[in-house]
Amino acid sequence: MSANNETSDLAAVEAMLRAARGGDRTGSVRAITLNLIVLAPDADGVEAAVQALEHVGPSHPLRAIVATPTEGELRASVASSCWVGASERQVCSERVVVEAGAKALPSAVTSLLVPDLPVFLWWQGEFGDDGLAEQLSRLASRVVVDSGECGLDGVAAARRMGGSVADLAWAALMPWRDAVAGLFDGPSEVKALERIQAVDVRGPENEARLMAGWLRSALDSEIDLHREGRSQHLERVTMQSGGKEYLVERRGRGRLGTATVPGLVDYPVLLASPPRSSLLANELSRLSSDRLFEQALEAA
């Protein structure tokens, strides 16, 4: 269920949210676990954020402040969404969509944060190396970007703001990294890792570079990257060692792939790319920086 309301007075937002969740009743306990600021560059971004929040909310009851820079007057709309689980219990999230000038936006967002709860910033699109990005990043313990949108340079710019940074594209690589690591889980295959000099990747550039960066940093060796293909998603990762080929390849468009290890029967691997909202939800579960990601990014 949900309720909506609009205002130009941010001081009225708390009362509107209270009304949206049906008022404070005796014994009611509001369970909110975090603040999420979403920088949405335009109306499409707001829509994408609202859709993602509908999926994130059940696992992370939160207050989302969706901020959009505009030329017009300050305007806020308020909504509360609740979800009922299998046990017929209900969790609720709050959403405030704020439009304001870029200079006014950080103060508007600050006034809407729930005290004493962690703050995350999800920055959509290209990461601006400007005042707005700096001020919003300063509010957040963790900044979430997508190198598929902002490139690895954008991720590096977010890191320069000083906080912990997450990349949704890196998060989406997890099943692939797991499958690639699985090629070398056996004692004899571990030795083959020492002789790997190059990785061939069919897939987008940012993911290919992150894959190569991960291998270089994890194996502490120079590994060449050969990339091909124009697809939006990773299709294949191949490595050669001692004249033998180790391979993970997606099967069609499905969630499954095949792993090939010399001398063994090919086996299925789960290459499910979770939806963006699930990736975001996972990133909201941690506050600290992801050391592996940072090392992979530096080596990419």
> How near is the Cβ of 296 to other proteins at its closest, in Å?
10
x/- letters, 202..221, toward other proteins (CB under 8 A) = -------------x--xx--
174 binds other proteins per the rule CB under 8 A: yes
State the burial class of residue 41 (Cβ atoms within 10 Å of its Cβ: 0-12, 13-18, 19+): middle
| Among the listed residues 187, 222, 230, 243, the single contact to other proteins using CB under 8 A | 187
Q: Pick out residues in 219-258 that bind other proteins (CB under 8 A).
A: 219, 254-256
From 11-19, 73-81, 103-111, 284-292, give the range in contact with other proteins by CB under 8 A: 284-292
> How near is the Cβ of 146 to other proteins at its closest, in Å?
20
> How near is the Cβ of 116 to other proteins at its closest, in Å?
15
> How near is the Cβ of 259 to other proteins at its closest, in Å?
7
| Among the listed residues 11, 87, 115, 243, the single contact to other proteins using CB under 8 A | 87
x/- letters, 34..73, toward other proteins (CB under 8 A) = ------------------------xx-x------------
Distance CA 219, CA 134 (A): 34
> How near is the Cβ of 184 to other proteins at its closest, in Å?
5
269 binds other proteins per the rule CB under 8 A: yes
| Among the listed residues 66, 259, 280, 300, the single contact to other proteins using CB under 8 A | 259
Distance CA 209, CA 257 (A): 21
116 binds other proteins per the rule CB under 8 A: no
Nearer to other proteins, 149 or 294 (CB): 294
| Among the listed residues 145, 157, 171, 179, the single contact to other proteins using CB under 8 A | 179
From 5-13, 71-79, 137-145, 169-177, give the range in contact with other proteins by CB under 8 A: 169-177
DSSP string, the chain: -EEEEEES-GGGHHHHHHHHTT---TT------EEEEEE--SHHHHHHHHHHHHHHTTTS-EEEEEEEE-SS--EEEEEEEEEE-TTS-EEEEEEEEEEE-TTTHHHHHHHHSPTTS-EEEEE-SSPP-SHHHHHHHHH-SEEEE-HHHHHHHHHHHHHHTSSEEEEHHHHHTHHHHHHHHHTT-SHHHHHHGGG--EEEEES-HHHHHHHHHHHHHHHTS--EEEEE---SS--EEEEEETTEEEEEEE-TTSSEEEEE-TTS--EEEE-----HHHHHHHHTT--S--HHHHHHHHH-
Distance CA 78, CA 253 (A): 39
The site for other proteins, by CB under 8 A, has a size of 49
Interface with other proteins (CB under 8 A): 27, 29, 31, 33, 58-59, 61, 83, 85-91, 174-175, 177-182, 184-187, 189-190, 193, 215, 218-219, 254-256, 259, 261, 263-265, 267-270, 272, 290-292
